[in-house]
Every structure is written in C-alpha cells, then in structure tokens.
Chain A
Amino acid sequence: MKAKYIYKCLMISFAALLLGSCSSPEVDAKFDQNATERLSGRQKELNDLLLSSAEGWKAVYYTDSTQLGGWTHLFKFLPEGKVDMASDFDSDTKTYTSQYDIQVGSTVSLVFTTENRIHLLSNAADYPTAGLLAKGYLGDFQFYYYGQKNGDIIFRTNRNGHFLRFVKATAQDWTDLPKNTPIISNITGDMTSPLFRLLEINDGTTTKSYDFDYNTDARFGTGYSLDPAVNTSYDLAFSFNPTGAYSKTPLDVKGQKLTDFLYSSTDNTFVATGKDGVKATIKYTNAPPIVTDDYKNFVNGKPQMVLGYIAANLYTAPTTSDYFRFLITKVNASLPAAQSISRIQVFFNSAFGTYIEYRFNGGKPSIYHNLTTTENSANKTLVLVHDSWDDGAALIAAPAFLKDIDAQFTNPIGFYIKKENFKISFSNVIYTMTSASSSFRMTTYQL
C-alpha cells in the first residue's frame, strides 16, 4: 500500500509540475527585440553611421598614452565594404583603399580586414622602443562599437579596451593631413639638428629647464629636471596637426593644463601658452642640458690621455651622431675601395704634444694633425687649435679629403667632453666628444 501511495503522489506532483510549467508563458520583455535582432540592428546602425558622413571620419589613435603618442587617421567608408584611408604615420599621407567589415561576435565591431595604413601600428617587426619588441606600436584594427556621443562614434579597442573616438571629418581634414609632415620633421630634426632638446617651463615668475628626452618614433617624450634635488618629470604624448603638436597628457603648470604646443618657425620651437605668463617651450640646443667638468682632465699640463674612436666598435654606438657618421662616410667614399678610416685617436698632452691621429684600413699610413688646446671655462669646453700636419716623418699640407671632418675638430667654440656611464664591447671607459657648435658627436674609448 505504501508504495502505491508514493506512486500516486509522485504522479500527481508530476502532473502538477507539467500543468504548472506552462501556465504563464508571458515573460516581461526587458527589450523590444530579441538578442539577435538587437545585434543585427546594431550592426546595421554602425554601418549606416559609418557611411553617413560624406567626408568620412577622423580618429587620432593613441594606442597607449603612457608610452606612445597618437597617429591621425582619416577614413572614408564606401559601399561594398571598401574604405579609403590616410594616416600621418609617416610622410606618405596619400589615400589607399582596402576592405572593412562589421563583424558580430559577443558584440558588434568594426574590423579593417585587409591591409592599409592603420595596420602600420600593429606590425610586430616595427617597434619604437626596445620594450615593445614584437609588439609594434600596440595598435589594433578591430574596434568594438560602444555608442555615439554628440555625433561622434565611440569604440573600444580590441586588446586593451581603450576608448577611441571617430569624429566626423571635413574636407579640410583631408587637405590638412599632409601638412602634419613638416611639423613632425621639425620635432624629429635631421642629422644637422642640435643633439639636445630642452623643455622650459615658465610658471609666470620663474623659468625651469628640463632635459627633454624625446623618442621621435614613439612620439613620446619625458622632461627630466636638471636639478638633481628635484625629482619631477613631465610626460608628453604627442599627436600632430598643421600648426603644431597636441599632448594627450597635459602639462600641469600651477593648475593650468597645457596641451597645445604651437610650432614657431622663427626660432624652431614648440610653445604652449597659458594664462598669466605660464608657458612651456620645447627647443633644440647644442649645449648638453647637463654640462660636466670632465674636460678638465684634458687641459694643458694634465697627464697624457688618449681618446680613440674605433670604427669597428663605435660607428654604431648610440651616442655616435648621424652627422659624425655622415662625415666619416664621406671621407671613406673619397678613398680607394679597400681603404677606410679605422680609428681617430686624439692624444692629449703626450710626449709629442696634443694631436689627432687619423688611422686607416687597407695599408694607408696614418696622418697626424698637431694641435694646441685652450680651455673655455665659462662654457666648460675645450678648444682644439690647428698647428701643423705631418705623416709621421715630415710636415705635409692639410689633406683635402679630411677637410670637412677636421673642421669639426678645430671648431672655434670647442668640445664638451663627457665620461659616460656605459661600456661598449670592452671594459674601457667611454668618453664622448660633442661639438659645441654643431651636431657632431664622436664616441671614444679611453685608451
């Protein structure tokens, strides 16, 4: 009997469950449409939006403003999944066509599906700092549709979820894009541009200088205080426009946030101006921000010191300047094929006086330039003054093929000499000789 009752109870409760389960099929809908309809609706909405702007869209893409600047991109979306694109990533600001797609996954995303300018930011093999090896410029080209705000389209980038804003472009934006290139060249400089950059910050009453360490590829720079007691630094993440640079990370001076650095062609500076005399200036200088007294070991009357540039090890040194390399290459080009400069050794206060030895590969004998030195204690430089040339046996006329490079050594304003704190290939101390009047800098071993 017991089992029968249990069975009956079970059957009744089963029937009750069955009857009850569909008793109220109506569920309060949270949305007017189901998930699929909403996703495909978003897909169509985004595509219509992209196609709606006649002059396309502009996006200044900051991939990571803690270490990189921004790159301006212009997009014009066309029917059949085509897109025209231009960018100021390099001097090629021309427009190229590729394909795009609105993909649906967990949400709707815009994907640039075939190669164009935006993909330059995600090239593993092209990275601006050693820390970004295999990561390129940390760029994405798949952007999740987040919404619209004031006519702009807001996306979130695929890998790091940063916000990216597409703003409606104008015809002016397309004509202006190539004008970013000369501005970028001004801050990048060339081989004859002074080697050092300063960030001068005027807070309305006093001006403080910062050593501005700027990476032209990364479009990112940091100003370090020249006063060892002050531990302040300023990061600037630049993007460019036809009038100057914009920093996404503002420079905070007395509560004022400076972001727009206008280029001044008269003195080759970038200046951000605030209220009440507040100003920040980025400028080039031939004088190192921090000048050392290291030159004093080389003045008259000191013991012999020999500084040797050895081509095989020091041509590629990071402290060897492009202008120095240019002059070396020029000398080598004027020599027969098998010959080239192997060393430039500067002997200070030797038994034979002070002189430069130009040493060659390929059996060509050395040439010596005999000099005297004078000290400029105000500038903290050492000036090398011409005396005579010889070939080790007899006096000779000044060799024409060494004229340009030698003129740098005997420039009347002289050299900054700095003992560096790094080593290259050997344990020898590294010294750099930096011209006070040009971008000529030679890296040497103390021999």
Chain B
Amino acid sequence: MKIFKTYKTVVIAGVLLLASCAQEDQPKESQLDFSVPVKTDLDKWIGTNFLDPYNIAVYYEWNQNLVDNNKYLFPPLVSKVQPAMEVVKKIWIDSYSTIGGANFVKKIAPREFVLVGGVNLNTNGTVTLGLAEAGQRVSLFQIDNLNKKSRASVTQFIHTIQHEYVHILNQTKPFDEQAWSKLTPSGYTSTWYNEATATSRSLGFITSYARLNIYEDFAETAATILTSSKAEYDAILAGVTDATAKANIKAKEAIVVKYYKDAYNVDFYALRDEAQKNTDAVINN
C-alpha cells in the first residue's frame, strides 16, 4: 500500500506538471531575420571559388568581431578583394592541390579568411602582416597595397599566407620541436624587430621574425623557401658567411623537408617549384 501511495503521489505530481502550463501561447515563426542578404558579383565569385569547393569563407565586409578593435584598421577596397583572392587561389591552393593531392587543402585549411585594407601597425612601430588564429581563421592585412604585377608585392603577400598555413599544418601535426630547439637555442629574442636581417642570418635564422620562437622560426624557414626560387634561396645561403650559421639554416631546412614528407607525404621542393611556377603565372598575366 505504501508503495502504491507513493506512486499515486508521483502520478498526481506528474499530471500537474504536464498540465500546469498547457494554456500557454505556442511559439510562432521566428522573429529573427533569415532573409538572404543581396549577393554581389564578388560574393558569388567567392562562393564559387572558395566556399563551395573548399568550405572557406572570405570576409571582406567589416565585422568588428573578426578583428582587434583596439587597432585602427579598415575594410579593403572592394575592387582589391578578387585580385587578392586570385593570388591566394593560384599560388597557395593550386600549388598544394597539385603536389599534395586535390583534397589536401579541403582537409586542412583555415575555414575563414578575414581581409583588411589597411596596415596593421603596432605601437612599437612593427607591422603585422597576417594572423592565424586557432588554425581556423587567417587575417590578411594591407589588401589595398597588393600589386599583382610586382613580384616583391606578391611575394610578401603570399609569404604571409604560406607562413600562416605552416602554422596550421603544425597545429595539425607537430614538427620535431626537440631537434629544432637544439639548433640555435640562444638566438631567440622578443625584440626581434630591432635586429637586422643580415645579423639574424649570421646567427642561423632565415629572417629576424624567425627569432621570436621555434614555431615562428619553422614557419619563416618554410615560407621563405616556398616564396623563393631555388636560385634566390641559394643566394640567401651564399650571403651567409658564418659556417655554423649556414649549417644551422640547412639543418632547419632539412627538418622542414622531412616534416612535409613524414607528416603529409609532400615533396617540399616540388611544392616550392610549383609555387614558383604559379607565382610567375600570376605576375605575367
């Protein structure tokens, strides 16, 4: 009986619970605005070339949640967006797709590109060219300044993407950090921007920025090789007179090459040659 009584109470309580709010208004259709915004030709182009094939969104319209609000930045000129993204497609995506396989970039890629027109100048006078956040979002600055006909301009721009993409690859599969950190342990500095490139190279770093930490060092080493022709890279090495420094840069290069082979089965030098071929195609067209 006791048990029956207990159940009775529970049943009554349940009925009350279910019935108590029965007379309340039921929700109507959503009050949020789900209408599709008007798509410009540029939006359609981005859809066809980035969103549909690679699931990569490209944000060129200002959204303050995607940028650092303490910086004085502004959106790019609309006319500069497509040329910049054509460079990205040709030199970065096409090179990796050809050498790494058609699905390489589809599997590992930032899911968002944020384009900014202006220079990301810091209060210490340095300039941030790009940012990679959590392997998901790459922010590219100075879109307004990209000149497709200038090799220097295209190289600097694509260096930023290659650099950030190397970070994303590293975040997916780490490189041999122990081996790397043994090569030039004393050269790293947070005030890298006060250092001349020549000085940094004489210490075994490919650029001054590489001296921030081993991750930037790896990304800079890989990106510099990818954005230089073999002759240009050889010239950089030839300019390093210190034998130890030259050996260290070469040792770093070897780790990069091995990483691409072991982690992704990519021939790094073939990738470099493909990127150079595509760079020539961009500049000459």
Contacts and interface: CB of A to CB of B under 8 A. Distances in A.
Interface of A: 11, 14-15, 18-19, 21-22, 25, 34, 36-37, 40, 80-81, 98-99, 101, 103, 111-115, 119, 122-125, 133-136, 138-139, 141-142, 158-159
A136 B71 CA distance: 10
Nearest to A138: B72
Interface string B1-40: 0000000010011001100110110000001110001100
Given A18-B20, A25-B24, A119-B75, A11 B13 contact: yes
A159 to B, nearest CB: 7
B72 A15 contact: no
Contacts of B76: 114-115
Contacts of A141: 62, 74
Given A11-B9, A18-B13, A115-B144, A124 B71 contact: yes
Given A123-B119, A124-B118, A133-B121, A114 B17 contact: no
A115 B75 contact: yes
Max chain B Cβ within 10 angstroms of own Cβ: one of A80, A81, A114, A136: A114
Contacts of A122: 72-74, 118
A114 B43 CA distance: 13
Given A18-B13, A113-B75, A122-B73, A158 B120 contact: no
Contacts of B120: 124
B74 A119 contact: yes
Contacts of A135: 72
B75 A14 contact: no
A80 B38 contact: yes
Given A15-B12, A122-B72, A22 B20 contact: yes
B21 A22 contact: yes
A36 B28 CA distance: 13
Given A34-B31, A119-B74, A124-B120, A114 B13 contact: no
Contacts of A112: 62
Contacts of B64: 111, 142, 158
A113 B62 contact: yes
16 contacts: A22-B20, A22-B21, A34-B31, A37-B31, A80-B38, A101-B62, A103-B63, A113-B62, A115-B74, A115-B75, A119-B118, A125-B118, A125-B119, A125-B121, A133-B121, A134-B71
B117 A115 contact: yes
B118 A114 contact: no
Contacts of B75: 113-115, 119
A133 B123 contact: yes
B77 interface: yes
Contacts of B21: 22, 25
A80, A103, A115, A141: most-surrounded residue (chain B CB, <10 A): A115
A105 B35 CA distance: 17
A191 to B, nearest CB: 28
Contacts of A40: 31, 33
Contacts of A80: 38
A139 B24 CA distance: 49
A133 B13 contact: no
B77 A114 contact: yes
A159 B67 CA distance: 13
B234 interface: no
B31 A119 contact: no
B78 A99 contact: yes
Nearest to B145: A125
A83 to B, nearest CB: 12
B72 A114 contact: no
B38 A81 contact: yes
Contacts of A22: 20-21
A98 B37 CA distance: 16
Contacts of B32: 36
A80 B77 CA distance: 18
Contacts of A98: 78
A383 B72 CA distance: 50
Nearest to B59: A113
Nearest to B24: A25
A141 B23 CA distance: 48
Contacts of B242: none
Contacts of A113: 61-63, 75
B194 interface: no
A119 B118 CA distance: 9
B69 interface: yes
- Give the 8 A-B CB pairs with smallest separation, nearest first: A119-B74, A113-B61, A125-B119, A124-B121, A124-B72, A134-B121, A36-B31, A136-B72
Contact of A18 (B16, B60, B125): B16
